[in-house]
């Protein structure tokens, strides 16, 4: 057990009755909300939210507590993009991958969240739409 936070959405994510994105939606969990993590279920995590047990897709959860401002989703727009962080470690991200936009800095970079990794990419390497 542990906790996870809702990420990679601008407002909220569906909280499903079963580990199937076509199953009944029990609630919408807002961005940044902490949920109790119970177990992994394929592409979903079984979690406890508002005293109910249900499922959220793993893509929308992170172990890192998020900033209070809502994030926006962006897509990597180039091949060979790596998230830069400190210390100088790089995490490769495939083209067309969805990432959570945390903030845009004035120096031409954007801080993003990808699979529990936070770091920076050039703003020109992101696009707003999936296509």
The more confident residue out of 11 and 50 is 50
Sequence ranges of the domains in the chain:
2-62, 72-127
Rounded distance, CA 29 to CA 19, Å?
Answer: 16
The more confident residue out of 11 and 109 is 109
For residue 35, name the pLDDT band (cuts at 50, 70, 90).
very high
Q: If you count them, how many residues does the chain have?
A: 131
Q: What is the pLDDT of residue 70?
A: 45
Residue 15 has pLDDT above 90, yes or no: yes
The model's pTM is 0.55
Torsion of the alpha carbons at 29, 62, 49 and 26, rounded to the nearest 10: 50
The more confident residue out of 36 and 11 is 36
CB neighbours (10 Å) of residue 36?
13
| Domain 72-127 belongs in CATH node 2.30.30.40 | yes
Same fold, 2-62 and 72-127: yes
Those residues whose C-beta lies under 8 Å from the C-beta of residue 51, and which sit 6 or more positions away, are none
Q: What is the pLDDT of residue 10?
A: 63
Residue 63 has pLDDT above 80, yes or no: yes
Q: What is the pLDDT of residue 119?
A: 81
Helices (H) and strands (E) in the chain, counts: 0, 14
Tell me the fold of 2-62.
SH3 type barrels. (2.30.30)
Those residues whose C-beta lies under 8 Å from the C-beta of residue 111, and which sit 6 or more positions away, are 101, 102, 103, 104, 105, 118, 119, 120
């Amino acid at each position: 057990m542990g906790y996870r936070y809702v990420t990679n959405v601008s407002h909220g994510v569906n909280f499903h009755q079963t580990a199937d994105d076509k199953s009944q939606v029990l609630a919408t969990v807002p961005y940044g909300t902490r949920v109790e993590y119970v177990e992994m279920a394929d592409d979903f995590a079984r979690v406890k939210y508002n005293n109910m047990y249900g499922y959220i897709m793993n893509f929308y959860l992170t172990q890192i507590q998020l900033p209070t401002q809502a994030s926006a989703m962006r897509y990597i727009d180039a091949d060979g993009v790596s998230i830069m962080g400190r210390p100088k470690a790089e995490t490769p991200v495939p083209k067309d991958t969805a990432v959570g936009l945390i903030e845009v800095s004035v120096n031409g970079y954007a801080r993003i969240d990808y699979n529990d990794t936070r770091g920076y990419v050039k703003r020109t390497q992101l696009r707003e739409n999936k296509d």
